[in-house]
């Protein structure tokens, strides 16, 4: 039995150093081993794929999807199902064999490329050791650090790209970048400077994929506009849908139409209420619960169903294991999974019938509403008001408090920070970190709500668009705006977001609640020296520093 592991890819990693016995997230050493080996296989596959690309050959999009799904599957809190991992590993060998054949006599070296997966699970677990992050003890700590940061950036990009591809949008450059970047991670001839360049290139790809996803969501569901969302419950059967995938929500809404089943968004699905082609459904009744880390408490004994479309899934308690469903790349041993047909269609009848059978909430709660839907189009429709208000001194500063939430006590920083922001300042939010304070009253400034929710984590692109438009209006650079970015990170999409901001030259980001364990002291110093990244301290001290 596997009893050791090493993973330090997320913010909650054990002791701020690495999970070695079991993941704080619930990842077992066995799953960790299989994820390591799956990434190892992706690197090997990419060594062949890049040779074909170099020869000018086009790679099938099904191959890109395989790489993307595999990367996404290994992101924090996505898949904990051993069978699903074995299945992906087996597919990886089939993919590798096919590419080998296509490469013919072309010389491809590297252990990752030459490795062949065993049929035996026992052997797979033994082989996985060599795929471990710390396996090569001789490897330079800074090289390891940058390689790992690139890897986590790729996982974040894969999550966004997967979401866009599900609604038939993609970016060919990003598709090819997976192979180039993964193959580069096996290349010992690349020095630190080469890898830093690749790191910033990963950030550029992150911007590109967020732009595609923004276009995909805006074109398919119409651009978000301000919308009030009830955060209390309504009587009747219901399904809570969590994650990021708007097409899953759309399919669920059409399949529950007229069936007497209410749909609540959860976690990162909250911003979907802003999209006209989703909020037109009257049975999309509101938002349920808080951020992902509260799910075991909030779903406990719930008289309805839950659908997890992407991250963040936690170990389901017995009190709701029979009514939580996964879809897409999400999975947990014993949790019912709803797979997509070839054309992406999903049949949700099982979860709908279960929700009807459970009966739902017995009575309505008093309505309590919050406001969402301030994507770049909606926010910039007020650009003139905003610019004038800044010039007249009515708005002093903007604070983007964005990123993921998590369980650590230190995350109260973000609640306190938001509460301390002066009344003549605007708070912009994105991703699930906002649940720390989005139900508080912030009032208005210059005729605008003081809290403007931009959307999901991938809507960091929207924040950048807003910032660039304001910089244009003020005829200054993005770093000269009265704008502070206070970023809270948890998993690897936040890594992709951070790299995106750095690639755009954004400086002075306040990062917390703790710094990534995978950044070596030298790599961290590089980021501090070149991008003025600041670890958060106290809300009072940081605010004082920002406002001068
Ligand atoms: S994903 Fe995070 S919590 Fe889970 S094993 Fe890795 S570092 Fe630990």
How many other CB atoms sit within 10 Å of the CB of residue 109?
A: 9
Quick one: angle between helices 61-73 and 82-103, nearest 10?
150
What pLDDT, in 10s, does the model give residues 238-258? 999 999 999 999 999 999 999
- Can you tell me which atom of ligand 1 is nearest the CA of 14? 8
Q: How many angstroms separate the alpha carbon of residue 8 from the centre of ligand 1?
A: 6
Q: Considering only CA atoms, which residue is closest to atom 6 of ligand 1?
A: 7
Per-residue pLDDT tens over the stretch 44-79? 999 999 999 999 999 999 999 999 999 999 999 999
State the angle between helix axes of 61-73 and 172-184 in degrees (0 to 180), rounded to the nearest 10.
60
Confidence of residue 459 (pLDDT cuts 50, 70, 90): very high
φ and ψ at residue 264, rounded to 5 degrees:
-115, 140
Report the nearest atom of ligand 1 relative to the CA of 77.
Answer: 1
Cα-atom radius of gyration of the chain, to the nearest Å?
23
Q: For the segment 462-480, what is each residue's pLDDT rounded down to a tens digit? A: 999 999 999 999 999 999 9
DSSP string, 211-241: HHHHHHHHHHH-----EEEE-S--SB-EEEE
pLDDT per residue as tens digits for the range 343-395? 999 999 999 999 999 999 999 999 999 999 999 999 999 999 999 999 999 99
Asked whether the predicted pLDDT for residue 130 surpasses 80, the reply is yes
The finding on whether 75 has its CB within 6 A of some atom of ligand 1 is no
Binding site membership of 25 for ligand 1 (Cβ less than 6 Å): yes
Ligand 1 atom with minimal separation from the 22 CA:
5
Least Cα distance to 155 among 67, 64, 75 occurs for 75
Q: Is 8 in the pocket of ligand 1 (CB under 6 A)?
A: yes
| d(CA 107, ligand 1 centre) in Å | 36
Kindly give, in sequence order, each residue whose CB lies less than 8 Å from that of residue 251, ignoring residues fewer than 6 positions away: 345, 346, 348
Spacing, Cα 146 to ligand 1 middle (Å): 18
For ligand 1, atom 1, the nearest C-alpha belongs to 76
* CA–CA distances in Å: residue 199 to residues 144, 390, 393, 444, 512: 12, 36, 39, 40, 20
- Percentage of residues of the chain with pLDDT beyond 90: 97
What size, in residues, is the chain?
A: 548
Distance 138 CA to ligand 1 centre (A): 24
3, pLDDT greater than 80? no
Contact in structure between 47 and 113 (CB atoms under 8 Å): yes
Q: Which of 2, 7, 22, 519 to mutate to test the pocket of ligand 1 (most atoms within 8 A of CB)?
A: 7
Average pLDDT over residues 254-278: 98
Predicted pLDDT of residue 161: 98
> What DSSP line would sit under 82-101, residue for residue?
HHHHHHHHHHHHHHHHHHHH
**pLDDT tens sequence across 298-310:** 999 999 999 999 9
Which of the listed residues 6, 19, 30, 75 should we mutate to test ligand 1's pocket, taking the one with most ligand atoms within 8 A of CB?
19
- Cβ of 12 below 6 Å from ligand 1: yes
Q: How far, in Å, is the centroid of ligand 1 from the Cα of 75?
A: 9
Locate the ligand 1 atom nearest the alpha carbon of residue 13 and give its number. 7
User: Would you call 190 helix, strand, or coil by DSSP?
Assistant: coil
Residue 462, φ and ψ in degrees, nearest 5: -65, -40
Q: Could you tell me if the CB of 88 is within 6 A of ligand 1?
A: no
pTM (2 decimals)? 0.96
Say if ligand 1 is within 6 A of residue 152 CB.
no
Nearest Cα neighbor of 244 from 110, 430, 107, 80 is 430
Alpha carbon distance 354, 322 (integer Å): 9
Share of the chain above pLDDT 70, in %: 100
Distance of CA 20 from the midpoint of ligand 1 (Å): 9
SS (H, E, C) 490-509: CCHHHHHHHHHHHHCCCCCC
Q: Averaged over 249-269, what is the pLDDT?
A: 98
Kindly report the CA angle at 295 between 38 and 509, in degrees rounded to 5?
70
CA angle at 238 for the pair 276 and 322, rounded to the nearest 5° = 130
First to last CA, the chain: 57
Does 9 sit in the ligand 1 pocket, CB within 6 Å? Answer: yes
Position in ligand 1 atom list of the atom nearest CA 18: 7
Nearest CA owner, ligand 1 atom 5 = 23
Q: What residues does 397 pair with on adjacent strands?
A: 425
7 CB less than 6 Å from ligand 1?
A: yes
Among 8, 9, 494, which residue has the most ligand 1 atoms within 8 Å of its CB, making it the best to mutate? 9
Q: Which of 2, 25, 75 to mutate to test the pocket of ligand 1 (most atoms within 8 A of CB)?
A: 25
Helix residue ranges per DSSP H, 427-518: 460-474, 492-503
Q: Are 142 and 523 in contact (CB under 8 A)?
A: yes
Closest residue CA from atom 2 of ligand 1: 10
Does residue 253's CB lie within 6 angstroms of at least one atom of ligand 1?
A: no
Ligand 1 lined by 351 (C-beta under 6 Å): no
pLDDT in tens, 524-535: 999 999 999 999
Q: What span, in angstroms and rounded, lies between the C-alpha atoms of 224 and 278? A: 10
- Using a 6 Å cutoff on CB, does residue 461 contact ligand 1? no
> Tens digit of pLDDT for each residue in 287-300?
999 999 999 999 99
Q: How far is ligand 1, taken at its centre, from the CA of residue 77, in Å?
A: 8
Q: Check whether 398 has a pLDDT greater than 80.
A: yes
pLDDT at 1 over 70: no
What is the Å distance from ligand 1's center to 444 Cα? 40
Ligand 1 atom nearest 5 alpha carbon: 5
Query: Considering only CA atoms, which of 37, 174, 144 is closest in space to residue 96?
Result: 37
Give the residue among 338, 221, 342 at the shortest CA–CA distance from 279.
221
Q: What residue ranges define each of the domains in the chain, with the CATH number in brackets?
A: 14-219 (1.20.1270.20), 227-358 (3.40.50.2030), 376-547 (3.40.50.2030)
Which parts of 243-316 fold into alpha helices (H)? 246-256, 276-279, 295-298
Confidence band, pLDDT 50/70/90 cuts, at residue 417: very high
Q: Is 539 helix (H, G, I), strand (E, B) or coil?
A: helix
CA 370 to ligand 1 centroid distance, Å: 32
Is the previous residue joined to 370 through a cis bond, with omega within 30 degrees of 0? Answer: no
């Amino acid at each position: 039995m596997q009893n050791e592991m090493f993973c330090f890819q997320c913010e909650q990693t054990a002791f701020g150093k690495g999970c070695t016995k079991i993941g704080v997230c619930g990842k077992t050493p066995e799953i960790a081993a299989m994820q390591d080996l799956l990434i190892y296989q992706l690197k090997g596959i990419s060594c062949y794929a890049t040779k074909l690309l170099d020869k000018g050959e086009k790679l099938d999009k099904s191959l890109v999807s395989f790489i993307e799904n595999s990367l996404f599957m290994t992101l924090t809190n996505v898949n904990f199902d051993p069978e699903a991992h074995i299945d992906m590993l087996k597919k990886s060998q089939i993919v590798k064999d096919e590419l080998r054949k296509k490469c013919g006599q072309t010389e491809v070296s590297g252990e990752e490329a030459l490795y062949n997966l065993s049929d035996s699970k026992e052997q797979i677990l033994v082989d996985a050791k060599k795929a471990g992050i710390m396996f090569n003890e001789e490897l330079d700590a800074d090289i390891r650090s940058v390689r790992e940061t690139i890897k986590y950036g790729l996982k974040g990009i894969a999550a966004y790209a997967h979401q866009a591809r599900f609604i038939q949008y993609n970016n060919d450059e990003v598709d090819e970048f997976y192979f180039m970047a993964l193959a580069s991670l096996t290349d010992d001839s690349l020095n630190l400077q080469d890898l830093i360049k690749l790191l910033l290139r990963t950030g550029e790809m992150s911007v590109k994929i967020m732009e595609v996803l923004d276009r995909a969501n805006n074109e398919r569901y119409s651009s978000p506009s301000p919308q009030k969302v009830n955060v209390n419950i309504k009587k009747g059967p219901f399904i809570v849908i969590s994650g990021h995938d708007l097409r899953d929500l759309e399919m669920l809404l059409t399949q529950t139409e007229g069936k007497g089943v209410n749909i609540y968004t959860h976690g990162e699905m909250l911003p979907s209420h802003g999209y006209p082609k989703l909020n037109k459904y009257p049975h999309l009744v509101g938002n349920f619960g808080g951020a992902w880390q509260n799910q075991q408490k909030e779903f406990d004994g719930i008289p309805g169903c839950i659908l997890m479309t992407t991250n963040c899934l936690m170990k389901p308690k017995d009190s709701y294991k029979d009514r939580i469903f996964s879809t897409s790349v999400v999975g947990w041993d014993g949790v019912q999974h709803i797979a997509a047909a070839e054309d992406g269609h999903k049949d949700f009848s099982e979860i709908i019938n279960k929700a009807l059978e459970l009966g739902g909430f017995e009575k309505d709660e008093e309505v309590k509403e919050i406001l969402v839907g301030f994507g770049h189009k909606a926010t910039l429709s007020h650009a003139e008001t905003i610019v004038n208000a800044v010039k007249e001194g009515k708005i002093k500063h903007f604070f983007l408090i964005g990123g993921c939430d998590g369980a650590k006590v230190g995350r109260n920083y973000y609640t306190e920070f938001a509460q301390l922001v002066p009344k003549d300042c605007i708070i912009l939010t994105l991703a699930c970190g906002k649940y720390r304070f989005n139900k508080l009253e912030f009032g208005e400034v210059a005729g605008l709500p003081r809290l403007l929710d931009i959307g999901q984590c991938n809507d960091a692109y929207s924040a950048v668009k807003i910032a660039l438009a304001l910089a244009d209006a003020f005829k200054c650079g993005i770093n000269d705006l009265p704008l502070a970015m206070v970023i809270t990170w948890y998993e690897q999409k936040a890594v992709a977001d951070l790299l995106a901001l750095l690639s755009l030259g954004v400086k002075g980001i306040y990062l917390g609640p703790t710094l990534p364990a995978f950044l070596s002291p030298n790599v961290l110093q590089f980021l501090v020296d070149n991008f003025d990244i600041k670890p958060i301290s106290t809300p009072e001290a940081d605010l004082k520093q920002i406002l001068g």
